[in-house]
Amino acid sequence: MNDYEKMSITVNIFYKIRDSEMYGGIGSIGYASASITGNGKMMQNDFEAFISKQKKSFASGLGVSEECVRVITQEEYEMDTKDDENGLSYYDKLN
């Protein structure tokens, strides 16, 4: 086993979502986050394609087009959700 296979890496992705029924429908804005944990092999992947695939999956799961899902910074996410109950992650809302 290589050293990079022994590493643990967590990637956090933050989203701003428009028009999803989960957040109130047309005209609504909601926020979501996802954490993906893996080993060092994750660093060998094409991260742009990885993020694009995650965004597409989120859009599909929330019933909106990809244009309604935007990747944002953690700072923007925290600022916009600090007092907002809709700041729960998509996975939290499902469970």
The tens digit of pLDDT for each residue in 46-92 reads 788 888 999 999 999 999 999 999 999 999 999 888 876 654 544 34
pLDDT at 95: 33
CA neighbours within 13 Å on the CB side: how many for 44?
7
Phi-psi region of 30 (alpha: psi -120 to 50; beta: other; left: phi over 0): beta
For residue 92, the model assigns a pLDDT of 40
Helix (H) or strand (E) holding 38: strand 29-38
